[in-house]
């Protein structure tokens, strides 16, 4: 279905529902990004990711807890001859009441799964796969949060493989101390007409961390430290058994006014996670991020990050700038 036909049908559906709705909602999201990755020294992929996404949504709040949204997520990569490089449909139902939140459909991953550590889910997903296509359930209180989700990444055809991610994450934080966990499994199944060299893959990981949120010590605005154990589960059926590389990972984050520093250190066995950051295939890896946020207001935030990657006895570098703008509006339909 073309984008034009999809939008026309979506508007007609929402128009028919507006007679039952309490509010008409609109949401406009813009994400501009420039990410220069100088990874040649370590033999990893050097590239510059430079472009912008625009994602308009329109929907109805049927009552105080039920919401329906439709829209489209449009990507343009700078330098491309294509006006729209990729268009992803946005169409989802949301139930939201007290501590519970439930999504079904194709919905944005930002603020839902974008907190996953890069060792599990590569940050390029925010550029090229901005939506979750499936379901997510979240329960969150002041001290505890937990979610469980499934993201269907590929429909099975004669050539394409059936593939999906299933995972859960959460945190318990009664005070300054917290314990957190992240886990998922990527199931990469067969196509309908698989070639002889196609194998079913199970590829996932579990990360458990203990940490301290020290608040505002000394002159800093915030400082958080955490450390934990990472175990991945890797199997290519018919070729390998179940492999479980294990390692130690720590994080230190500190912020002062518009500046912040984040250091992630990994020591252990290398991981070969299909959806993870490829730097973690090494046994020892340290990433240092130095961030500067020149402006941050209610609806807009711009941030620059300079990253140093210490791996295999060399230093790779990365410079990235991201700007997000969000405009949300509601209009009452019934009084």
pLDDT of residue 63: 85
Q: Give the C-alpha separation, 309 to 286, whole Å.
A: 6
DSSP assignment of 55-68? EEEEEEE-SSSEEE
Give per-residue pLDDT as tens, 10-67: 555 655 555 566 788 999 999 999 999 999 999 999 999 999 999 999 999 988 899 9
Q: Which helix (H) or strand (E) holds 126?
A: helix 125-128
Neighbouring residues of 120: CB distance < 8 A, sequence distance ≥ 6: 182, 184, 205, 207, 273, 275, 276
Report the C-alpha dihedral over residues 207, 212, 217, 219, rounded to 10 degrees.
10
Give per-residue pLDDT as tens, 266-308: 999 999 999 999 999 999 999 999 999 998 888 999 999 999 9
Give per-residue pLDDT as tens, 57-71: 999 998 889 999 999
Give per-residue pLDDT as tens, 120-179: 999 999 999 999 999 999 999 999 999 999 999 999 999 999 999 999 999 999 999 999
């Amino acid at each position: 279905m073309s984008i034009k036909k999809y939008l026309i049908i979506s508007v007609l559906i929402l128009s028919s529902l507006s007679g039952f709705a309490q509010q008409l909602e609109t949401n406009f999201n813009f994400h501009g990004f420039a990410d220069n990755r100088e990874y040649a020294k370590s033999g990893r992929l050097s590239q510059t990711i430079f472009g912008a996404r625009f994602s308009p949504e329109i929907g109805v709040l049927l009552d105080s807890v039920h919401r329906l949204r439709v829209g489209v997520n449009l990507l343009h990569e700078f330098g491309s001859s294509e006006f729209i490089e990729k268009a992803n449909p946005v169409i989802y139902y949301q139930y939201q009441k007290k501590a519970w939140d439930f999504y079904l459909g194709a919905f944005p991953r930002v603020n839902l799964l974008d907190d996953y550590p890069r060792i599990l889910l590569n940050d390029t997903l925010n550029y090229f796969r901005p939506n979750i296509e499936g379901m997510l359930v979240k329960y969150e209180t002041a001290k505890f949060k937990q979610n469980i989700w499934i993201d269907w990444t590929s429909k099975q055809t004669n050539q394409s493989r059936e593939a999906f991610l299933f995972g859960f994450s959460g945190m318990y934080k009664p005070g300054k101390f917290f314990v957190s966990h992240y886990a998922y499994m990527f199931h990469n199944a067969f196509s309908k007409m698989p070639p002889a060299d196609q194998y079913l893959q199970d590829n996932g990981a579990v990360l458990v961390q203990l940490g301290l949120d020290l608040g505002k010590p000394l002159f800093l605005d915030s400082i958080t430290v955490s450390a934990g154990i990472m175990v991945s589960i890797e199997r290519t059926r018919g070729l390998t058994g179940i492999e479980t590389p294990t390692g130690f990972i720590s994080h230190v984050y500190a912020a002062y006014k518009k500046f912040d520093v984040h250091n992630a250190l990994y020591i252990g066995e290398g991981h070969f996670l299909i959806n993870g950051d490829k730097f973690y295939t090494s046994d020892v890896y340290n990433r240092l991020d130095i961030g500067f946020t020149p402006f941050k207001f209610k609806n807009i935030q711009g941030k620059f990050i300079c990253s140093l990657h210490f791996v295999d006895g060399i230093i790779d570098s990365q410079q990235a700038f991201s700007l997000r703008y969000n405009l949300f509006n509601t209009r009452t339909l019934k009084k």
